[in-house]
Amino acid sequence: MAAEVRVPRMGQSVSDVVLVAWCAQPGSAVRAGDVVARVESDKSDIDVEAPVDGVLGPHQADEGDSCPVGAVLVRIVTAGEADGPTAPGISPKARRRAGELGVDTSALRGSGPDGLVTVADVEVAVATAGDGSTWQGRRVASRRTLSTVERATARRLAESWRTAPHFVQMVDVDLTEAASLRQQWRERASSLAAVTWTDLAVAALARALARHPEMNAAFDGDALVLFDEVNVGVAVDGVAGLTVPVVAGADRLSLAELSAAIAALADGDAGAPVASTATVSNLGALGIRAGTPVLNPPETVLLFVGAVEDRVVAVGGAPAVRTMATLSFAFDHRATSGAAAARFVATVRSLLERPTRNL
Amino acid sequence: MTRQLKYAHAIREALALELARDERVMVFGEDVGVNGGVWGALRGLHEEFGDRVFDTPIAENLIVGMAVGMAMRGLRPVAELQYSDFVFCAGDEVFLKAATWRYAHGGGVDLPLVVRMASGGSGFGPEHSQCTEAYLMHTPGIRVAVPSTPADAKGLMTAAIRSDDPVFVLEHKLLYPMTGPVPEGEHIVAFGQAVVRRTGDAVTIVAWQDMLRRSLAAAERLAADGIEVEVLDPVTLNPFDVESLVRSVEKTGACIVVEEAPLTLGVGAEIGALLMEHAFGHLDRPLVRLAIPDVPVPTAPHLVDAVVPSVDRVEAAVRRLVA
């Protein structure tokens, strides 16, 4: 049978290497000890040698590919093998089809017996080679036209990123009390049993905005426009893309009312036909701890809620397990300062950490 | 009307109908007359048709030689060789006379003779188990029919008797007791028209007689895993239906020949060559020949199992090829 040239073991911690260069081409004769390929790990470079005399089969990886240790790089057909099983190659049907489709067969990997390139390999190569065009020097697989929502989102976020000097503050909040409250609400089947972390975050943000009116505002060239109502947008990742339906007058709603309104948004309700004055985005359910969010223009603040999780924290000099989350706030530095922002963040934090009194 | 008949009885029916239809038809061989043939296929024919169904000495060269002579003089003889291995005993008459004399006599005579031979069914040992179709197929001037069903046994026998060429009909021993639907009355199966016994797109299996049965059983198993195998029965090996073979392989891109005979220069080798010539650009897999290794056919059952292509081996070959 053919001898296999495999990626050599290059140390305990190395699991993958990069194939730097082929030193022998398919079909060429090699002698045992000849270098057939050069690979590198993050620690070292190694020349991979032919273990036997023979003729090189098709390359099983391309230069620049990442290959796991032990993977077959190439097979060497040995001399006594001529009357043995079929050597790897390309089937006549595959060759003919490749000609029809204009596919370069030299780079194909065979899936047939003994690595034979079959017509299926050619057709897969065509299907995955894209539409044949290139875009900025890259081969194109396909081009998907963006939806109206996606286009609007892209335009607004790019504008936001370009025009508003962002800064992000992150704070850890202790949600142990809130968690226990939610537990009680559920156990008692209270009207608050369905309150989510997003609901609590929106409630805290809305109440903090009511206390810090200059955060419920927008930079407008030579003025800061303070808004008369607190309308909180809630980022929803839906089928149409990213949308931000709005809860109007969020600071005036009870937690139960707020929760019901947000639940309706999640069910597809378009929200109040008003513009938001601040936005909440919650990716905590996906395990994200913190982020550097982009403002929803022309707002001054956006709250990104991270994963709510049990963490070991120091309480009174001793380790304790507390329910914690990290909140990340993006601010528009044209509209506010770091210190003002920090005071606002502290308010949100204290609202969430003492929910019984504040929410 | 169609009814279920055994393969052996379908042959008998074809002979009886032709004996009744054409008084030039003569049926003979060792124990063919009074005894009704060692395989029981001819029982009652002697009683019904008298001396037109008769016994011969145990002398195969005589049997075929007599057929050649009778055919030259205007009769339509149907000779039987008890085992297809005995074609070698009659070698001079088969390969030199029957095969060449129409040519040698400048086309001045027809040779409308039929030689029936019980074939295959390994287990009867090296001198009584062979499938000799490759030797016959190698010989220009004679036709070779390999009926795999009772209906084909009747239809090919009828066509053989009515043909003006020397025709060798290989009757597979393990198929004699098999039943299947057989049309009543005159039934003719045309030579040179292969039949797709099962349609599929993964690979074309070419097989006949007992190997066809095994291939169909393997195909049934493979279908459970979504591998649809096309099974082609050539029906006659000379003439060979190249067109049907090529049509099938154009679809599947792969071919496995399963035969109950030694590998080297077997029918599978010829089919491989035909595919090279007629379907090269459509081959997507190497040809696979499943055959008996180049050894004499053994007698002991476990040795027979070790060399004759089995359902398992056909299944494994397909899986390896299309994996």
CATH of the domain at A14: 2.40.50.100
Instruction: Please indicate, yes or no, whether residues A240 and A296 belong to a single structural domain of this protein.
Output: yes
Q: How many residues does chain A have?
A: 359
- Name the E strands within A230-308: 232-234, 236-238, 241-243, 246-247, 278-282, 301-305
Q: Give CA–CA dist A62/A18, Å, rounded.
A: 10
Sorted by sequence, the CB contacts under 8 Å of residue B211 that are 6+ apart come out as B258, B259, B260, B290, B309
C-beta atoms of A113 and B286 within 8 A: yes
The shortest CB-CB distance from B285 to any of A95, A96, A113 is to: A113
Residue A84 has pLDDT above 60, yes or no: no
More confident residue, B100 or A21: B100
Residue A207 has pLDDT above 80, yes or no: yes
pLDDT at A126: 78
Q: What is the mean pLDDT of residues A124-133?
A: 72
Instruction: Please indicate, yes or no, whether residues A311 and A209 belong to a single structural domain of this protein.
Output: yes
**Among A4-18, A277-291, B115-129, whose mean pLDDT is lowest?**
A4-18
pLDDT at A106: 78
C-beta atoms of B280 and A92 within 8 A: yes
Q: What is the mean pLDDT of residues B120-127?
A: 87
C-beta atoms of B253 and A118 within 8 A: yes
C-beta atoms of B281 and A112 within 8 A: no
How far, CA to CA in Å, does B173 sit from each of B10, B83, B178, B258, B291? Answer: 14, 9, 10, 17, 18
Residue A51 has pLDDT above 50, yes or no: yes
In chain B, the percentage of residues whose pLDDT exceeds 70 is 100
Residue A143 falls inside a structural domain: no
pLDDT at B215: 98
State pLDDT tens for residues B203-222.
999 999 999 999 999 999 99
Partners of B280 on chain A (C-beta within 8 Å) are 92
Question: Shortest CA distance to A205 belongs to which of A265, A269, A255?
Answer: A255
How far, CA to CA in Å, does B53 sit from each of B35, B45, B160? Answer: 11, 7, 17
Partners of A105 on chain B (C-beta within 8 Å) are none
Question: Shortest CA distance to B273 belongs to which of B248, B242, B295, B234?
Answer: B242
> How do strand B76-81 and strand B25-29 relate by DSSP bridges?
parallel
Residue A121 has pLDDT above 90, yes or no: no
Residue in chain B nearest A118 by alpha carbon:
B284
- pTM for this one? 0.58
Instruction: Note the CATH number of domain B195-322.
Output: 3.40.50.920
CA angle A336/A339/A343 to nearest 5° reads: 95
pLDDT at B196: 98
Q: Give CA–CA dist A345/A201, Å, rounded.
A: 12
Residue A1 has pLDDT above 60, yes or no: no
User: Which residues in chain B are classed under CATH 3.40.50.970?
Assistant: 2-183
Tell me the range of A62-71, A192-201, B255-264 where mean pLDDT is highest.
Answer: B255-264
State pLDDT tens for residues B159-175.
999 999 999 999 999 99
Inter-residue contact B267 to B237 (CB < 8 Å): yes
Residue A318 falls inside a structural domain: yes
- The H-or-E segment that residue B205 falls in is strand B203-206
Instruction: Please indicate, yes or no, whether residues A220 and A233 belong to a single structural domain of this protein.
Output: yes
Fill in the DSSP letter of residue B98.
Answer: I
Q: Which residues pair with residue A47 across a beta bridge?
A: A38
Q: What is the mean pLDDT of residues B131-143?
A: 97
**A79 — pLDDT class (breaks 50, 70, 90):** low
Look up the CATH number of the domain holding residue A220.
3.30.559.10
C-beta atoms of A116 and B286 within 8 A: yes
pLDDT at A216: 96
For chain A, how many structural domains are there in total? 3
**Mind telling me how many Å the CA of B249 is from chain A's nearest CA?**
11
Residue A181 falls inside a structural domain: yes
Residue A338 falls inside a structural domain: yes
Instruction: Please indicate, yes or no, whether residues A290 and A336 belong to a single structural domain of this protein.
Output: yes
Partners of A112 on chain B (C-beta within 8 Å) are 284-285
Residue in chain A nearest B319 by alpha carbon:
A113
Q: Give CA–CA dist A172/B42, Å, rounded.
A: 99
CB pairs under 8 A between A and B: 35
What's the CATH number of domain B2-183, 1.25.40.10, 3.40.50.970, 3.40.50.300, 3.30.9.10?
3.40.50.970
Active site residue B302: no
Residue A82 has pLDDT above 50, yes or no: no
Instruction: Quickly count: other Cβ atoms within 10 Å of residue A67's Cβ.
Output: 19
Q: What is the mean pLDDT of residues B279-297?
A: 94
pLDDT at A125: 81
Please tell me which residue in B9, B46, B128, B187 is annotated as part of the active site: B128
Residue A65 falls inside a structural domain: yes
CA angle B81/B86/B89 to nearest 5° reads: 115
pLDDT at A325: 97
pLDDT at B139: 97
Residue A141 falls inside a structural domain: no
Cis amide linkage into residue A298, ω under 30° from 0 = yes
Domain housing A66: 1-88
Q: Give CA–CA dist A352/A215, Å, rounded.
A: 18
More confident residue, A173 or A100: A173
pLDDT at A42: 78
Residue in chain A nearest B321 by alpha carbon:
A113
**A85 — pLDDT class (breaks 50, 70, 90):** very low
ipTM beyond cut 0.85 = no
pLDDT at A80: 59
Q: What is the mean pLDDT of residues A24-37?
A: 88
Instruction: Please indicate, yes or no, whether residues A322 and A246 belong to a single structural domain of this protein.
Output: yes
The shortest CB-CB distance from B321 to any of A96, A113, A119 is to: A113
Q: What is the mean pLDDT of residues A121-143?
A: 74
C-beta atoms of A119 and B286 within 8 A: no
Q: Give CA–CA dist A34/B305, Å, rounded.
A: 46
Q: What is the mean pLDDT of residues B267-278?
A: 97
**Mind telling me how many Å the CA of A91 is from chain B's nearest CA?**
5
C-beta atoms of A112 and B284 within 8 A: yes
Residue A133 has pLDDT above 80, yes or no: no
More confident residue, B248 or B36: B248
Instruction: Please indicate, yes or no, whether residues A71 and A214 belong to a single structural domain of this protein.
Output: no
**A102 — pLDDT class (breaks 50, 70, 90):** confident
pLDDT at A86: 42
C-beta atoms of A93 and B320 within 8 A: no
Residue in chain B nearest A121 by alpha carbon:
B284
The shortest CB-CB distance from B253 to any of A86, A113, A119 is to: A119
User: Which residues in chain B are classed under CATH 3.40.50.920?
Assistant: 195-322
Which string of DSSP letters, residue by residue, matches B167-182? EEEEEEGGGTT-EEEE
Fill in the DSSP letter of residue B282.
Answer: G
Q: What is the mean pLDDT of residues B135-140?
A: 97
In chain A, the percentage of residues whose pLDDT exceeds 90 is 47
Residue A83 has pLDDT above 50, yes or no: no
**Mind telling me how many Å the CA of A59 is from chain B's nearest CA?**
20
Classified as helix, coil or strand, B170 is: strand
- Name the E strands within B18-91: 25-29, 53-55, 76-81
pLDDT at A145: 74
Report residue A106 CA to chain centroid gap: 35
Question: Shortest CA distance to A231 belongs to which of A208, A245, A248?
Answer: A248
Q: Give CA–CA dist B278/B275, Å, rounded.
A: 5
pLDDT at A65: 84
Instruction: Quickly count: other Cβ atoms within 10 Å of residue B54's Cβ.
Output: 15
Instruction: Please indicate, yes or no, whether residues A165 and A268 belong to a single structural domain of this protein.
Output: yes
- The H-or-E segment that residue A119 falls in is helix A119-128
Q: What is the mean pLDDT of residues B233-256?
A: 97
Look up the CATH number of the domain holding residue A117.
4.10.320
pLDDT at B264: 97
pLDDT at B12: 96
Instruction: Please indicate, yes or no, whether residues A200 and A319 belong to a single structural domain of this protein.
Output: yes
Residue A224 has pLDDT above 80, yes or no: yes
Instruction: Please indicate, yes or no, whether residues A99 and A71 belong to a single structural domain of this protein.
Output: no
More confident residue, A16 or B233: B233
State pLDDT tens for residues A52-62.
888 888 888 88
Q: Give CA–CA dist B41/B37, Å, rounded.
A: 6
